[in-house]
Chain A
């Protein structure tokens, strides 16, 4: 191989785009030819410089944030397309499966909190507390897996004052959510589990109910109780992952 050919192939060589035998030829030439070796080193230096410079480019972080903000479903989005449309665009970019799981759940945390409070009150007044009685988290987990199309971790309580009563499934947003019911003193504590939309921890104390919401290892949790605030705080801190 002569210098002209080697220089012609030097970019493809550097970018690992040559077939193995051509690549070997270029490599052999370069190791014997200081001029071509110099040319390769210059190209490599340039490549590195571009990557470094790009890292220092006027950071579009703030602007990226704006873009992100804008592609969130919003009613006054400039193209006026439905929120669903933009959610789907995001999905196209980030994987359909993730979207399918999360887009249904991308709802206001307030709405979820009011949902879970309504479910809690409905179950308390109907005396239909659970669909399945179980004190054993493994069987409860299996039952949930047959009822919802995603795999929640079931949490159990290990501290003595609390016992697991069982589970039921409620519709939160438009998604089936496992609900684990615990007994604490004279009150029930319902823990709703949803695929994570990364909720900010929030406490709501209203209508004689206490709601604690938090996010952990891929799930969002909403604990509801009509007991004392101290009681539900204790429940929250006693929850551990059941594997």
Chain B
């Protein structure tokens, strides 16, 4: 059941609602079944996560009320953002789980998903690119920006980017 756990976890991270996550996972599994004959990849996990991810993103985009309507720009890494980090203050002082989870949940979904796929599901950039259907360069820049945002959130006192 490993992959189903991963599918459900990704849904939960993206949708932040257990009921929606359950629905999305079931729906994705249903689609996975229908697409099974067309499956090209030999690795089932990224393949399944891609279906789950699309399901979640569709759901997020169709939600009438969104907490954030921000869309990341996929050009080169925004170094202004990166250089805001003061090396001295960059050391994350308080790493309590609650704060980290809160920070991840504050990320826009497009950033949150690359963090989850990399840090928790431990997919390679190439696999992540397959899941989110974007070039590897986009994965790299989104991941960098997502991490920078998290660091800023976790080092500043209540001040969010």
A and B from one assembly?
A: yes
| A interface: dominant SS | helix
B92 at the interface (CB under 8 A from A): yes
The complex places the Cα of A41 from the Cα of B88 at a distance, in Å, of 12
**Cβ contact within 8 Å between B87 and A38:** yes
A54 touches B120 (CB 8 A): yes
Asked if B54 is at the interface (CB within 8 A of a chain A CB), the reply is no
Q: Are A86 and B33 in contact (CB under 8 A)?
A: yes
Contact at B33–A92, with CB atoms within 8 Å?
yes
* Chain B residues within an 8 Å CB radius of A94: 1-3, 44
- Contact between B95 and A89 (Cβ–Cβ < 8 Å)? no
Contacts of B7 in A (CB 8 A): 93
Closest B residue to A43 by CB, please name it.
Answer: B147
Q: Judge whether A39 and B85 touch: CB under 8 Å.
A: yes
What is the size category of the interface that chain B forms with chain A?
35 or more
Cβ contact within 8 Å between B124 and A50:
no
Interface membership of B50, Cβ < 8 A: no
CB closest residue in chain A, given B12:
A60
Contact indicator A46/B147 (Cβ below 8 Å): yes
**Segment 75-100 of B: residues with Cβ below 8 Å from A:** 77, 79, 82-83, 85, 87-88, 90-92, 95, 97-98, 100
Measured between C-beta atoms, what is the minimum distance from B49 to chain A in Å?
Answer: 11
Interchain CA distance A34-B91 in the complex, whole Å: 13
Q: B138 on the interface (CB 8 Å rule)?
A: no
CA distance A10 to B48 in the complex (A): 29
Do residues B32 and A60 form an inter-chain contact, with CB atoms below 8 A?
no
Asked if B104 is at the interface of the complex by the 8 Å CB criterion, the answer is yes
With contacts A51-B119, A93-B44 taken as known, whether A64 is within 8 angstroms of B91 at the C-beta atoms is no
Measured CB to CB, the residues of B under 8 A from A are: 1-5, 7-9, 12, 18, 21-22, 25-26, 29-30, 32-33, 36, 39, 44, 48, 77, 79, 82-83, 85, 87-88, 90-92, 95, 97-98, 100-101, 104, 115, 118-120, 124-125, 140, 143-144, 147, 150-151, 154
Given contacts A43-B151, A67-B4, A90-B4, 15 further A-B contacts (CB under 8 A): A8-B144, A11-B147, A17-B125, A38-B88, A43-B147, A46-B147, A46-B154, A49-B154, A50-B100, A50-B120, A54-B120, A68-B4, A71-B29, A93-B1, A93-B4
